[in-house]
Structure 1
Amino acid sequence: MSEFKSLPKYFHAFPRYGSPPIDSQMDDPLKLNNVFNNNWKQLYESIPKEDEFYSYKLLIIGRHGQGYHNAATIRYGWNEWDKYWSMLQGDEFSNWVDSKLTPLGERQVQIIGETVLLPMIKQLGFLPHVFFSSPLRRCLETFIGSWGVVFGSYMGNDTNNDGSTRKHVNVEILENLRETLGKYTCNERVDRSVLLKEYQNFEMGNNNSSLCLKLDNDYPEVDRLWVTYPRESRSELDERIHKVLIELFSKITDEQRLISITCHAHVINSILRNLNHPPILNLETGKIVCTVVQVKKRTSPQKNL
């Protein structure tokens, strides 16, 4: 049996084992099974409790909002992007190496925060236990723009032990949670020091919270994964994402059940394949999918983030 798998009957995108793919432009993959009356708390409380062999998680998996590379794909068309523009650092309109969000992308993720994440968290009554993200800048900006809406409305102004009211929001950065490697310069990471300079302690949520990026001590300064050629194949991507899922689940305890992941379209597709979840097609920038996952317990002790 696999180490982890999605469970059916919670969402419209996975009503039963063997379900066909769903086109997210035609059907809403976040639609809850009718038995839950469109209530996230009812769904969460129906998730099985941990036992001797398995723990269970509700994953909130978000695709980043539109980046400058996405805008360029629209501007030039897919064929021209793939054979020429994707290998450049940018054009007269923008630079897309480790692309940031466009103004449209910023609006997309803010809308998702207001219309999806905030209502979800208000119904659940608590925030995700752990946040994970790709290190690429469009994902960090997506996290800030979408979850920042929730922090601004939900976290309140309780006083910390030092008398301050600002909350630190920890986000665990996983290097291998990145988009398909090779060829496309938009998927090359900027240096670690640049990430920390641009986003560490970033004020968010009406300035009542700040971003705290959690990187391993040996996290490399320069990008060691991206290469000009060859481009990573689907099977290679799936193998990499399988490893990062093992890493992700090893970093959380059995009691940490609500997990946020901010990443990329191909990574989301690979996560779903690794979890034996039916494909969700045409997931637009900024959109979210959720799935309940059964995780086989490992013998090694877990680290509480």
Structure 2
Amino acid sequence: MKLSLGSALVGLAVAQASTVKYSAVTGYFLQDEDSTDASTFDYTAENFGLINRTYPADKHNKKHLTQWERFYHQVSRFNEESPKHVEYKVLFLGRHGEGWHNAAETYYGTPAWNCYWAELDGNSTATWADASLTENGISQALTANAFWQKEINEQRIHTPDHYYVSPLTRTLQTANLTFTGLDLPKGSAIFKPTIKELFREGISIHTCDHRRSRSYIHEMFPSWPIEKGFSEEDELWNGVLAETSGAQDIRSATALGQVFFGSSSKKESFVSITSHSGEISSILRVLGHRTFKLNTGAVIPVLVRAEKTDKKATATSVPWTAEPHCTEPPVSSVSACVCPSSAAPVTTPLATGF
């Protein structure tokens, strides 16, 4: 069932069509290749997936550089030799560690989770509205921290020039645990991520997609900048309408447009984005990258070419959808959700959130 958006959602679903053409530059990472199985890929065992190969820029480099140093010089060379309307960036796309919503979905099973339990704030043992990390999720983020330090020490990797993070609690916690305390190379950008609304998870009727207030977020990490225009309360989630993949891709393209072509952009080519499985999938679609579903806590870099086009921006509207759900726990089903006969599906919120 398709519905028009409420006024609070219009600004997100009606956006200016991107005047930037994005493309994933393949041949540099294992995750670019169709033969790489995303379900078993371990970024910590594969040097972030960076392929051991030579580059055209190698002839301009000193000897005894690591693979990551040589790759950084190649990206710099791309930017030096490209026209003003083209630039290259390496996006480190990191999925948050396991949250309580992930654990709850595993416990209840996906069909029952989607049509009933996910619309609640939690149960008697756990809260999953704007979920926090589980102990396992904390461990996954600390694994990322240790691996970044290993890459700094052994590969002399160029650490991110800019950091961005989704405003949901699990991503804020993940970014903090991943990057705080690293012994960064001299001259590196300090870790002070920009909290960015448009890098949040795909917005469904699940309460785990309902972010907390700006005040709450600022209190958690008072030194982290929050982007201009960030509303006090979540104006995008209402527990009734769900973002379609088309609407989310517009959102992702808009967010990427705010990352590329800034001041000194070509010299600041490494960017970290701590986000979510669904949002990273959307970003990859916008980039034209192959589908690559990240496990919780995983990180993949992607080399991106962005080109400003001459076309005029046009307003694009993509409707959201209403998602019916049960009002009582569903009948057990392996492949689909079946509501009890006395509890017909509804499209009104079961929980009000925060």
Of the candidates 182, 204, 207, which is equivalent to residue 182 of structure 1?
A: 204
Aligned residue for 1:98, secondary structure, equals: coil
Aligned residue for 2:106?
74
In 2, the alpha carbon distance for the partners of 1:254 and 1:32 equals 21
| Correspondence 1:49 to 2:79 | yes
1:131 corresponds in structure 2 to 163
1:98 and 1:278 map into 2 onto residues whose CA distance is 29
**Pairwise CA distance, 1:25:** 2.0
TM-score (norm 1): 0.82
- Does residue 267 in structure 1 map to residue 279 in structure 2? yes
Indicate conservation of the 8 Å contact 1:133/1:174, yes or no. Answer: yes
The answer on 1:246 being equivalent to 2:260 is: no
CA distance in 2: counterparts of 1:87 and 1:124, whole angstroms: 45
RMSD between superposed Cα atoms in Å: 2.4
- Counterpart of 1:121, as a letter, is I
CA distance in 1, matches of 2:66, 2:267: 24
Q: Which runs of 4+ in 1 moved over 6 A?
A: none
Residue from 220, 224, 233 that aligns with 2:244: 233
- CA apart distance, 1:45: 1.7
Mapping for residues 190-201 of structure 1, pairs under 5 Å: 190-200=212-222
Q: Relative to structure 2, which stretch is displaced further, 20-29 or 50-59?
A: 20-29
Query: 2: distance between equivalents of 1:66 and 1:7?
Result: 30
Q: How many residues matched? A: 271
Q: Percent of counterpart pairs with the same letter?
A: 28
Query: Structure 2: any 5+ residue segments left out of the alignment?
Result: 1-18, 55-64, 311-354
TM-score, structure 2 normalization: 0.71
Give the 3 Å change call, closer, same or farther, for CA 251–227 of structure 1 in structure 2: farther
Give unpaired runs (5+ residues) of structure 1. 159-166, 201-211, 300-305
Residue 256 of structure 1 pairs with residue 268 of structure 2: yes
* Cα distance in 1, alignment partners of residues 36 and 66 from structure 2: 19
Structure 2 residue 37 is the aligned partner of structure 1 residue 13: no
Q: Give the 5 Å matches for 1:1-305.
A: 3-15=21-33, 20=34, 22-28=36-42, 30-35=48-53, 39-47=67-75, 48-50=78-80, 51-52=82-83, 53-115=85-147, 117-122=148-153, 123-148=155-180, 151-154=181-184, 169-200=191-222, 212-251=223-262, 253-281=265-293, 283-297=294-308
What corresponds to 2:319 in structure 1? none
Aligned residue for 2:330? none
Give the partner amino acid of 2:139: R
Letter in 2 for 1:46: Q
The Cα of 1:296 is off from its aligned counterpart by 1.8
SS in 2 for 1:153: coil
CA distance in structure 1 between the partners assigned to 2:125 and 2:97 by the alignment: 18
Q: 1:12 is aligned with what amino acid?
A: L
Answer with 6-15 or 49-58: which moved more.
49-58
Contact 1:22 1:279 in 2 (8 A): no
2 CA distance for matches of 1:28 and 1:38? 20
Instruction: Specify the code of the residue in structure 2 equivalent to 1:41.
Output: E
Question: Contact between 2:129 and 2:207, CA under 8 Å: does it hold in 1?
Answer: yes
- Measure, in 2, the Cα distance between the counterparts of 1:134 and 1:232: 17
